[in-house]
Each structure stands twice: as structure tokens, then as C-alpha cells.
Structure 1
Amino acid sequence: MARFIVSRVCQGLLTLFLVSILTFFLINLAPGGPSAIMNFESTAEQREALTKQLGLDKPVVQRYGEWLGGLLRGDLGLSLDSQQPVASLLGERLPNTVILAAATLTFTLLIGIPLGVLAAVKRGGAIDRLITFTSTFGMAIPEFWLGILFIIVFAVILQIFPSSGMVTAGSEFAIADLAHHIVLPMLTLSILMLPNIIRFTRSAMVDVIGLDFIRTARAKGLGSFRVFFRHALRNALIPIAAIIGLIIPILLGGSVVVENVFGWPGMGRLAVQAATNRDYTVVMGVTMLVGSIVIITNLLTDLLYSVLDPRIRYE
């Protein structure tokens, strides 16, 4: 197990290194520059002085080496746009994305797994077809369109939920206020994630339901709830854990579209702002953070397999 973990960590570090090279050279060699330099009100002398101040007059290979050296020291540099430490910006935005991601994942699992089990139990019936059709339809809905639709219906027409933000402007932080603001972005993300959970749960349950130990449990007179949710679902958790492992990085990386539609101050919104302003250091910081989350999540998912199924061992 220890050898497996060390091997995966080394592979993850190599992957991050390659991602950093690709991202750094792509954004630095692209035409244009940071918004501060491209300010049309600045004179040519001012632009040149600012270019030297930010170190953008150096060769791109040298700039990458300096950036990588700072990263190894735990320094992600300063934002070219706001002149704030990138680490501070990420530290401010990451918890907001984690809150939205955790709420979305919890809601999705509470709804998606029971629906997937129900579709498997009623396989071939009207309920199964309805759930399958609905989940397929959910996969085809554009997230920006769904978010705007929710805002029009629930924020503008019905005025039940706020249209944007994380808390009410000018008020003190309160859990109830946060919960009120999180409903619409959470529902938007959940509807997009639910089809994957439902379809994977149904597929895994269909494979397990036909096994001998399930037929034996039913022959012993055990109730349907105990058979399907305690015995069948427990043995179907590995493929379900796999799809959860794929969903978590997407949520923690921040849904760019959803966070921007609802004005949620998370990682996705920060990434869009940084890309728009050509804020290279922030783009690199977001990329490395999201890449680290993906690698850690994949490692934890692999380790979870051995917990769910004792037969799986990593040597």
C-alpha cells in the first residue's frame, strides 16, 4: 500500500509539472498582455516601465524558472491585476467553492442514488423509463440556460430566492442567509450532475441484483428495502464511488458558468476574471490548485476502493 501511494504521488507531481509547463507557455506566448499594460490611456513609456516592473520583458523560459522556484518555496506570486498575493486570492475563493460543491454533492447523492436504485428495481417498467428519460434530458440542458431560467422564474417572477451573490449585501453573515442564496446555484449544478449518478447507480445495481446472494436474501424473506439498500447497494458502491471521484474535482474546481451566472464568488469566477484580464499568475495559481485537487481526489478514490471491497489490494 505504501509503495502504491508513493508511486501515485510521484505520478501526480510529474503530471502537475507537465501541466504547469503547458499552461505557462500557452498563456505567456499568446498575443496581448495583462489589462494594466493594455490600458489605452497609458503612454508607450508607461507601458514599457510597467512591463519591466512586472518582469514581462524577460524571456519566457526565464520567467517560468522564476515562477517554478517561487512555487517550490510556496510563493505563487502577485496578481498582475490587483497586486495581491495569489495565495491570498485562492484562499478567499476556495472555501466558497467548497461550500457550493459540498452542498451540491450532498443533495445530488441524496436524490440520485435512491432514484438509481429505484430505476434498477423497476427495470423495464414505466418508472425506469421515466427516470432514464429525465436523466438523459438533464444531461442535454446547457447550464447557462438553466441558470438564467431559474433566475427568471424564482428570482424575478416568484421572488423566492435571490438572483446572485453568496450573502445579502450590507448584512452580517448568517447560515440561513447563505442557505437562501445557495439554493439556485446548487440546484443548477445538481441537475447537471444527477444524470451521471442515476445512470451509474442503475447500471451497478442491475449487475448486482442478478447475483446469487441477492436471490438468496430475498428467498430468506428479507424486506425489499434491506435487500436492495443494505446488501445490493453496498456491493454496487465501487462504480458509484468512481463517478463521485470524477465529479468532485469538477465541483471543487468551480463550475465556471454557474458561478458567473449567479455571481458566486468562487474559483470559477476568479478563473474567468483572471483569464479576461490576462492575469497570468492567478491563472497559473488556479490551474495548479485544481490540478492538485484532481490528483488528490483520484488517489483517495483508489484507496476508497480497498475499503469498500476488502478483496482489492494495492501491492
Structure 2
Amino acid sequence: MSRFIVLRICQGFLTLFLVSVLTFFLINLAPGGPSAIMNFESTEQQREALTKQLGLDKPVVMRYAEWLGGVVQGDLGRSLDSQQPVSKLLSERFPNTVLLSAATLIFTLIIGIPLGVLAAVKRGSWLDRAITFMSTVGMAIPEFWLGILLIIIFAVAYHILPPSGMVTAGNVFAWGDLFKHMIMPMLTLSILMLPNIVRFTRSAMVDVIDLDFIRTARAKGLKSFRVFFKHALRNALIPIVAIIGLIIPILLGGSVVVENVFGWPGMGRLAVQAATNRDYTVVMGVTMMVGTIVIITNIVTDLLYSVLDPRIRYE
């Protein structure tokens, strides 16, 4: 097991290195430059001086080597636009994205797993077809369109929920106010994630509920709820855990659009702002943060397999 973990960590570092190389060179070689330099109100001499001050006059390879050397020492550099440390910007935005993603994942699992179990138990019925149809529709809806639609309905038409932001401006922080701001972005992401959970849960349950031990449990007179949600679901968890491990990176990717639609001050919104302003160091910081989360999620998912099924061993 320890050898497996070490190997996966080494693979993770190699993956991060390759991602950093690809991202750094692509964004630096793209036309244009940081918004701080592209200010047309500045003179040519001022722009040249700022370019030299930020180190952008050096070759791309040299700049990458300097950036990588700083990362190894725990320094992600400074924003080219605001001159704030990238680590500070990430520490301010990362908890907001984690809060939204965690709430979305929990809500999605609470709704999606029971629906998947119900569809499997009632497979072939009108209920199964209705759940499958709703899942298909959910996969086809663009997140930006769904987010705008929710704003029009709940914020503009009925004034039930705030249209954007994380808290009401000028008010003292309150969890109730935060929850109201989080409902629409959470619903938008959940509707996009639900089809994956429902379909994988249904598929895994269909494979399990026809096995001999389930028929034996039902023949002994156990209640259906206990049979399906304790015995069958427990043995169907591995595919469900696998899709959860894939959903977490999708959540982070989907939050880029959703956070901008709802003005949620998270990493997704920071990434879009940095890409728009060609803030190279912030883009790299966000990329490394997301890449690290994806790698850690994959390692934890693999380790959970052996916990859920003792027959699985990593030698």
C-alpha cells in the first residue's frame, strides 16, 4: 500500500510538472499581454519600464525556470495586475469555491443516490423512465443558460433570492444570508451533476440487486429499505465512488462559469479575470491548485476502493 501511495504521488508531481509547462508556454505565447502593460494611457517608455520591472522582457524559458524555482520554495509569485501575492489571492478565493462545491456535492448525493436506487428497483416502470428522462435533460442543459434562467425567475420576477454575490453588501455577515446567495449557484451545479450520480447509481444497483445474496435477504423477510439501501447499495458503492471522484474536478471546472454568472467570489471567477487580464502568475497559481486537487482526489478515490472492497489490494 505504501509503495502504491508513493508511486501515485510521484506520478502526481510529474503530471503537475507537465501541466505547468503546457499552461505556462501557451498563455505566455498567446497574443497580447498583461492589462497592466496594455494600458494605452501609458507612454511607450512607461510600458517598457513596466515590462522590464515585471521580468517580461526575458525569454519564456528563463521566466518559466524562475517561476518553477519559486514554486519549489513555496512562492507562487505576485499578480502582474494587482501586485498581490498569488498565494494570498488563492487563500481568499479557495474557501469560497470549496464551500460552494462541497454544498453542491452533498446536495447532489442526497438527491441523486436515492433516485438512482429507486430507478433500479423500479426499472422498466414509468418511474424509471421519468428519472432517466430527467437525467438526460439535465445533461443537455448548458450551465450558463440555466443560471441566467434561475436569476430571471427567482431574482428578477419573484424577488425570492439575491441575484449575485456571496453576501448582501452593507449587511453584517449571517449564515442565513450566505445560504440564500448560495441556493441558485448550488442548484445550477447540482442539476448538472445529478444525471451522472443517478445513472451510475442505477447501473451499479441493477448489477447488484439480481445477485443471490440479495434474493436470499429478501427471502428471509427483510424490509425492502434495508435490503436495497444497506446490503445492495453497500456493494454498489465502488462505481458510485468512482464517479464522485470524477465529479469533483467537473465541479471545479463548472464553477468557472457558474461563479461568473452569479458573481460568486471563488477561484473560477478569479481564473476568468486572470485569463482576461493575461495575469500569467495568477493563471498558473489557479492551474496548480486545481491540478493538485484533482490528483489528491484520484489518490483518495483509489484508496477508498480497498476500504469498500477488502478484496482489492495495492501491492
- TM interval, short-chain normalised: over 0.9
Between stretches 196-205 and 25-34, larger displacement belongs to: 25-34
Q: How does 1:119-134 map to 2 (within 5 A)?
A: 119-134=119-134
Alignment size in residue pairs: 315
Task: Summarize deviations over 1:197-242 as a string: whole Å, max 9, x none.
Answer: 0000000000001111001001111110000000000000000000
Q: Work out the CA distance in 1 between the residues paired with 2:219 and 2:181.
A: 49
Aligned residue in 1 for 2:284: 284
8 A Cα contact 2:144 2:258, kept in partner:
yes
Give percent identity, aligned residues only. 83
Q: Work out the CA distance in 1 between the residues paired with 2:97 and 2:250.
A: 11
Q: Work out the CA distance in 1 between the residues paired with 2:80 and 2:254.
A: 22
Give the CA RMSD over aligned residues: 0.7
Unaligned runs of 5+ in 2: none
Measure how far apart 1:265 and its partner are: 0.2
Q: Verify: 1:239 aligned to 2:239, yes or no.
A: yes
Q: How does 1:54-73 map to 2 (within 5 A)?
A: 54-73=54-73
Task: Mark the CA change 1:191 to 1:135 in structure 2 (over 3 Å): closer, same or farther.
Answer: same
Q: Verify: 1:25 aligned to 2:25, yes or no.
A: yes
SS in 2 for 1:124: coil
Aligned residue in 1 for 2:14: 14
SS in 2 for 1:255: helix
TM-score by length of 1: 0.99
Q: Work out the CA distance in 2 between the residues paired with 1:255 and 1:180.
A: 18
Q: Work out the CA distance in 2 between the residues paired with 1:228 and 1:261.
A: 39
Between stretches 247-256 and 59-68, larger displacement belongs to: 247-256
Task: Mark the CA change 1:66 to 1:287 in structure 2 (over 3 Å): closer, same or farther.
Answer: same
Q: Verify: 1:230 aligned to 2:218, yes or no.
A: no
Q: Verify: 1:3 aligned to 2:3, yes or no.
A: yes
Measure how far apart 1:165 and its partner are: 0.4
Counterpart code for 1:19? V
Q: Work out the CA distance in 1 between the residues paired with 2:204 and 2:184.
A: 30
Aligned residue in 2 for 1:200: 200
Between stretches 169-178 and 54-63, larger displacement belongs to: 169-178
Task: Summarize deviations over 1:222-281 as a string: whole Å, max 9, x none.
Answer: 110000000000000000000000111232456111000000000100000000000000
8 A Cα contact 2:252 2:268, kept in partner:
no
Task: Mark the CA change 1:262 to 1:149 in structure 2 (over 3 Å): closer, same or farther.
Answer: same
Aligned residue in 2 for 1:251: 251
Aligned residue in 1 for 2:296: 296
Counterpart code for 1:298? N
SS in 2 for 1:162: coil
TM-score by length of 2: 0.99
8 A Cα contact 1:147 1:188, kept in partner:
yes
8 A Cα contact 1:254 1:266, kept in partner:
no
Q: Verify: 1:113 aligned to 2:113, yes or no.
A: yes
